[in-house]
A = this chain, B = another copy of it.
Amino acid sequence: MTARNIAFDPPGPRAAVEEGQAFTPRFDRDGLITCIAVDARDGRVLMLAHMNAESLARTLETGEAWYWSRSRGELWHKGATSGQIQRLVEMRVDCDQDALLIRVEVGGDGGCCHTGRRDCFYRAVVRQPDGRAALEFAGI
């Protein structure tokens, strides 16, 4: 599949970026933009991942979340193997257009994290008596 129909213009002046209606996503020097995925049911933050222009275009065209896997160096159709498809309910962009927020309905078992948990943020950072920080597994 080729994303043919959506091209992204480069960012304009700051006022246009922040208060305009042109979608000019600001990709970083690796060609990526950060994307937060939250569950449309309850707003819970599920994961943070990255999109390049191609995955962003595919997400908008197909209505399902596509990311760029930095570890594998390839396009990543979320849920293609696990069934945990993320159906796009809404996409938002932040003030300076360098971050995306998507609200999704999750397919399959409703989970998201490759460790088998519902979301990726399953550990809390807690300061210990000696002042150092350690992790505690947090409840669902």
Contacts and interface: CB of A to CB of B under 8 A. Distances in A.
Nearest to A38: B45
Interface string A19-32: 11111000000000
Given A23-B134, A36-B36, A132-B6, A123 B43 contact: no
Size bracket of the A interface: 35 or more
30 contacts: A6-B127, A6-B133, A19-B115, A21-B123, A21-B134, A21-B135, A21-B137, A22-B134, A22-B135, A23-B133, A34-B34, A34-B48, A36-B36, A38-B45, A43-B44, A45-B101, A47-B94, A48-B94, A48-B99, A60-B127, A60-B133, A61-B131, A91-B124, A91-B125, A92-B121, A92-B124, A93-B135, A95-B113, A95-B114, A95-B117
Interface of A: 5-8, 18-23, 34, 36, 38, 42-45, 47-48, 60-61, 90-95, 99-101, 113-115, 117, 120-125, 127, 131-138
